[in-house]
Amino acid sequence: AFVSAGVGYGGSCFPKDVQALIRIADRAKFDFGILKQAEEVNKEQKKLAVKGAKKLLKTLKGKKVAIWGLAFKPKTDDLREAVSLTVVKSLVRSGAKVKAYDPVAMTDAEGELPKIQYAKTAFEAVKNADALIVLTEWDEFKQVDLKRLKKELKSPNVFDGRNIYDPEEMKELGFNYISVGRK
């Protein structure tokens, strides 16, 4: 279930089911406003990662941006309606150089996102990057050595699209840190 603040939902079922319910309601002349709003909010949530990166970096042109997580959720390689597709394409259009890592979804991602580089490990993705954007809440990312993460990044900029890190700890460690829906 998608009940936590974050950069939006994806997958093969939930978005399709929301759209189907809206169409059924429309045919029955019922205004299913809450579902229409949920769909609109989800579209806006998907823009937050790029907005956050721009806030951290001022410009994306020529910047190296690491992406952790391409699948729409952990423990799958499913990219259908994944937030990463929207985010990565927007970053590339803005002139960013993107290097991504996902524990299982990279083979499928290469067909969907051919204009980026792929890393063999999470730390390879962030090495000398100007910023990291976390898009999928894999356990590997939750349990990462944050001190090493800071050393590997060129600049300690992190946009946490899944709220997997503690904001106070990130601040104490010297990260420029943005999360979703919390201070």
What digits encode the pLDDT tens for the residues 55-74? Answer: 999 999 999 999 999 999 99
Q: Report the number of distinct structural domains present in the chain.
A: 1
| Of residues 61, 11, 19, 57, the one with CA closest to residue 38 | 19
Residue 137 lies in a domain: yes
Q: What is the pLDDT of residue 45?
A: 76
Q: How many angstroms separate the Cα of 54 from the Cα of each of 68, 79, 99?
A: 17, 24, 17
Structure tokens that stand for 171 in this block: 């601040």
Residue numbers of the domain that contains 139: 48-179
CATH number at residue 78: 3.40.50.720
* 13 a catalytic residue: yes
Q: What is the pLDDT of residue 113?
A: 96
Residue 19 lies in a domain: no
* Structure confidence by residue, pLDDT tens digits, 76-119: 999 998 999 999 999 999 999 999 999 999 999 999 999 999 99
Q: What is the pLDDT of residue 18?
A: 75
* Distance, CA of 149 to CA of 2 (rounded, Å): 27
* Distance, CA of 116 to CA of 132 (rounded, Å): 15
Q: What is the pLDDT of residue 36?
A: 82
Catalytic option among 2, 7, 11, 13: 13
Residue 15 lies in a domain: no
Q: What is the pLDDT of residue 41?
A: 77
Contact 157/179 with Cβ under 8 angstroms?
no
Residue 132 lies in a domain: yes
pLDDT of residue 7 exceeding 80, the answer is no
Residue 148 lies in a domain: yes
Question: What's the mean pLDDT when you consider all of the chain?
Answer: 92
Residue 123 lies in a domain: yes
* Structure confidence by residue, pLDDT tens digits, 121-142: 999 999 999 999 999 999 999 9
Residue 138 lies in a domain: yes
Residue 29 lies in a domain: no
